[in-house]
Amino acid sequence: MNAPTTARARVRAELTREIKDAARRQLADQGTSGLSLRAVARELGMVSSAIYRYFPSRDDLLTALIIDAYESVGAAAEEGDARCRRDDFGGRWLETNRAIRAWARSTPHEYALIYGSPVPGYAAPEDTIGPATRVTAVITTVLADAVAADALVEPVGLPPAPRVLVHDVSALRDLAPGVPPEVMTRGLVAWTHVFGAISFELGGHLHNVVGELDAFFDHAMVVMAAYVGLPPKRVRSRR
């Protein structure tokens, strides 16, 4: 009794995957503005009306691609974190961000989809919120674990964060219970630097400026770890 339903589900899942793969190729070739359900249907040899049974609109397809991208970078971050001992907080920070960068370099158009300029006319639904926080949860867990182990090293000579900023960031406490607002504030600042460094590299803004991009990124991440207060990590060359 269940076999036909299972077979139909497998066929639907396979065609859904093919549609999303074709859409990713469109993103790579033409960017988000060129994404078209009709064009995807033509590439796959489908009539345009058939594809709407899988994705009723372009925005529905975009949402599926965005969720997939967030899940993919989240998984990469988790794998990076898992490569380190749990008490190696500096190492966990570095390996997590190395993994995010490696993912971005291998899938630059998916990176641009979720961390680049907003898609004109598209408003992300609540379905994207959970997947979007997956990668953030890895870093906030590193901070929370370091706080719980009393392992943070208070940076010296930094100006205090403005009270209004600390108040705003305190709303993120649910992501990392036990992390003081001042530490969370520094963590958020460092987090923006992670993606700033990646975006600069992918955008070609370091071309003819930095030759050893791996060394540059690692140094930036170690500096940001010290800014947050994570114990220093001795960085070994990846060459």
Task: Give the DSSP letter of residue 174.
Answer: G
CATH of the domain at 105: 1.10.357.10
Whether 91 and 52 map to the same domain: the answer is no
Whether residue 153 is contained in a domain is answered as yes
> Across the chain, what does the average pLDDT equal?
90
One domain, residues 210 and 127 = yes
Q: Are residues 83 and 111 in the same domain?
A: yes
Six-digit token string for 198: 């990646």
The answer to whether 183 touches 229, Cβ cutoff 8 Å, is: yes
Q: Has residue 63 been placed in a domain? A: no
Same-domain pairing of 162 and 51: no
Do residues 111 and 19 share a domain?
no
**Residue in the structure block whose two tokens are 């930094």:** 158
The verdict on pTM exceeding 0.75 is yes
Dihedrals φ, ψ of 11, to 5°?
-65, -45
Q: 77 with 162, same domain?
A: yes
Q: Nearest CA to 106 among 134, 81, 76, 147?
A: 76
- Cα pseudo-dihedral 160, 162, 164, 167, rounded to 10: -10
Is 33 in the same domain as 109? no
pLDDT (0 to 100) of residue 1? 45
The enclosing domain of 16 has a CATH number of 1.10.10
Query: Number of structural domains, the chain?
Result: 2
Higher pLDDT, 195 or 174: 195
Closest CA to 24 of 50, 46, 43, 5: 43
> Each residue of 129-183: pLDDT tens digit?
999 999 999 999 999 999 999 999 988 888 888 888 888 887 777 778 889 988 9
Residue 62, domain member (yes or no):
no
Asked if residue 115 and residue 13 are part of one domain, the reply reads no
Residues 138 and 170 grouped into a single domain:
yes
Report the range out of 30-39, 105-114, 120-129 with the highest average pLDDT. Answer: 105-114
- Judged by DSSP in three states, 181 sits in helix
Q: What is the pLDDT of residues 51-76, one digit of tens each?
A: 999 999 999 999 999 999 999 999 99
In a domain? residue 65: no
Q: Please say whether the beta carbons of 99 and 79 come within 8 A.
A: yes
Asked if 191 and 183 touch (Cβ cutoff 8 Å), the reply is no
Residue with tokens 């599926």: 64
| Residue that wins the pLDDT comparison between 172 and 81 | 81
For residue 185, is it within any domain? yes
Q: What is the pLDDT of residue 233?
A: 64
**Residue 67 is assigned to a structural domain of this protein:** no
Percent pLDDT > 70 in the chain is 95
* Chain segment 227-239, per-residue pLDDT in tens: 999 987 655 555 5
Q: How many residues does the chain have?
A: 239
95 and 32 within one domain: no
**Do residues 118 and 46 share a domain?**
no
Residue 61, in any domain of the structure: no
45: containing domain: 1-56
Q: Region 93-113: what's the mean pLDDT?
A: 96
* 92, 172: one domain: yes
Question: What's the average model confidence in pLDDT over 26-34?
Answer: 84
Distance of CA 66 to the CA centre of its chain: 10
Asked whether residue 239 is domain-assigned, the answer is no
Residue 4, pLDDT > 80, answer no
